[in-house]
Amino acid sequence: MYRAIAEFSRELAPLEDRRRSTVLDVIKKTLGAWVDRVESRRRLAAIAGMDAHLLRDIGITRSEIMIETSKPFWRA
């Protein structure tokens, strides 16, 4: 009986490694997206100081910038 349990446990080990890897991949991807959003919103905040005609040229309004930069980093 104990031998069967030990054997079953060894068979599941690769599955556990794959799950652990998958979870780490998801965490890494999520953290990367959050960092990208923070950087993007910082760049937008810098653009907010431009003249209105320059903002119109790039196709964004000051109010759109304010809405986007006020979002928390975890919201897309």
Locate the domains of the chain by residue range: 25-76
Residue 1 has pLDDT above 90, yes or no: no
Task: Tell me the DSSP string of 3-57.
Answer: HHHHHHHHHHHHHHHHHHHHHHHHHHHHHHHHHHHHHHHHHHHHHTTS-HHHHHH
pLDDT of residue 34: 94
* Residue 20 or 71, more confident: 71
pLDDT of residue 22: 84
> Model's pTM, two decimal places?
0.65
Tens digit of pLDDT for each residue in 31-67? 999 999 999 999 999 999 999 999 999 999 999 999 9
